[in-house]
Amino acid sequence: MQVSEVPKGAQIAVFWDIENVHDDFRTHENMMKEFREAGRVVRSYAFADWDSRRRMGEHLLKVGFDLIHVPSDMQNASDIKMGDYIIEHMNRYPETNCYVLVTGDGDFLVLTGILKMRGHYIWLVSNPLYTSAELSSLADKYNDMKSFRRLAFEEPETVEKRAKPMQSRSDRRARAAVRLQETVSKILEAENKPGIGWAKHVMVSLNPDFDERDLGFESWKDFVDWAEKKGYVIQEGDMPGTILRLPPTRSVESSRYSDENSRAFQKLIDILEKCLEKNKDTNLVTLGQEVKSEGIDYHDLGYSRLTDFVSSAEKREFVRIIPTDEESGPIVLPNYRVEDLKPWFRNNVTKYFGKKAKVPKDIFIEKIGQLLLDNRITLN
């Protein structure tokens, strides 16, 4: 991906596959604002089954989107409909020179290639974890959807400063390499290709505090070369098409670091749930106290600050940081994903809703998760 500035006086068209990527209303507003600041938005389309997303639809109408209804029971219907609209737009609005694609779906690879061949500027917005590396390589500009959140998120003054020195560089490098392994693993789980360049985007998305230069490397490639030499990853193919793979087995150290991170994030979720059950605030000041009380040493996990640790938890969708107008700053809440809620429904749907009740569709489960978030309640 060759990053370049949006053309001056750009005529912009926005095409958004809602089912592929979306966030909260504030994020959507900020995203549209940035598009408008970059040029003149000729048309903006959002594709989804709006019967099941009425609240979001009402919001997007207000910020200027045309809502294109696509029934959810039709396989790949959003992709097909969105592709049709892009082709029609090219013919109807030839003055458009910037196409914003809000999706990570590799099904748009051929169409994006056609746009590029016609000289159009491509701006891609997605969740990097679920984005086709081939699609991203065609983009002139890329944004992680969450980059539009723009949270004011500062370290509380009350958080105790660490008395003992940080880990050695070798230990910090090792922990960073374990995060690289996690990055490659997550890209593979999403059935995408972990190209060396795209892996950097995902690595930074999951770990906002990561910078290879802080570890003594001059470049991302130097860091990956070191990680390969130490047995953390395997590189296949020549640059720039190098693909990262995981070794057949992990070292004891890698497994230990990975387990420590997982336990720390789970403890953080447990802390938040207990605070909510006791009607306690979950701002950063309170959270700092609770984290210390529970013995979570985020410094030993490789995080310099509490905010880095919490941000990384949010990037993994374990928690959600919610802006407030309070002086104490944003609050942090447990984030219930579809994959978290499905087991609960499988185990309890007949108990609470009758023997004929079935596990609801993902879109309904997602709404339940948002309802829990909005009302600051837990599943317990």
pLDDT in tens, 38-49: 999 999 999 999
DSSP state of 231: T
Q: What is the mean pLDDT of the chain?
A: 90
Give residue 163's pLDDT band: very low, low, confident or very high (50, 70, 90): very low
CATH assignment of 10-148? 3.40.50.1010
Q: Over 50: is that where the pLDDT of 164 sits?
A: no
- Domain residue spans in the chain? 10-148, 169-253, 338-375
Compute the average pLDDT of residues 179-186. 96
Compute the average pLDDT of residues 193-207. 93
Structural tokens at position 318: 């374990």
Compute the average pLDDT of residues 30-37. 96
Q: Over 60: is that where the pLDDT of 155 sits?
A: yes
Q: Over 90: is that where the pLDDT of 185 sits?
A: yes
Q: What's residue 162's pLDDT?
A: 57
Share of the chain above pLDDT 70, in %: 96
Strand extents, DSSP E, the chain: 10-17, 39-48, 66-69, 98-102, 121-126, 141-144, 234-236, 243-245, 319-322, 331-334
Buried b (16+ CB within 10 A) or exposed e, 263-294: ebbeebbebbbebbeeeeebbbbbbbebbeee
Phi, psi of 210 (to 5 degrees): -75, 135
Q: Tell me how far apart the alpha carbons of residues 355 and 324 are, in angstroms, rounded to a whole number.
A: 42
> Angle at Cα 290 formed by Cα 315 and Cα 276, nearest 5°?
75
pLDDT in tens, 313-367: 999 999 999 888 777 678 999 999 888 889 888 888 888 888 888 888 888 888 8
Give residue 107's pLDDT band: very low, low, confident or very high (50, 70, 90): very high
Compute the average pLDDT of residues 365-374. 85
Q: Over 90: is that where the pLDDT of 183 sits?
A: yes
**Choice among 20-29, 84-93, 234-243, 299-308 with the minimum mean pLDDT:** 299-308
Q: Tell me how far apart the alpha carbons of residues 347 and 359 are, in angstroms, rounded to a whole number.
A: 9
Give residue 2's pLDDT band: very low, low, confident or very high (50, 70, 90): low
Q: Tell me how far apart the alpha carbons of residues 38 and 51 are, in angstroms, rounded to a whole number.
A: 32
Give residue 250's pLDDT band: very low, low, confident or very high (50, 70, 90): confident
Give residue 76's pLDDT band: very low, low, confident or very high (50, 70, 90): confident
Compute the average pLDDT of residues 157-168. 63
Compute the average pLDDT of residues 79-94. 95
Q: What's residue 351's pLDDT?
A: 84
CATH classification number, 169-253, choose in 3.30.420, 3.40.50, 3.40.1800, 1.20.120: 3.30.420
> What global pTM score does this model have?
0.86
Cα separation values, 202 from 1, 70, 208, 343, Å: 14, 30, 10, 27
Q: What's residue 158's pLDDT?
A: 67
Compute the average pLDDT of residues 26-38. 96
Cβ-proximal residues to 42 (8 Å cutoff; 6+ apart), any chain: 11, 12, 13, 93, 95, 96
Give residue 3's pLDDT band: very low, low, confident or very high (50, 70, 90): low
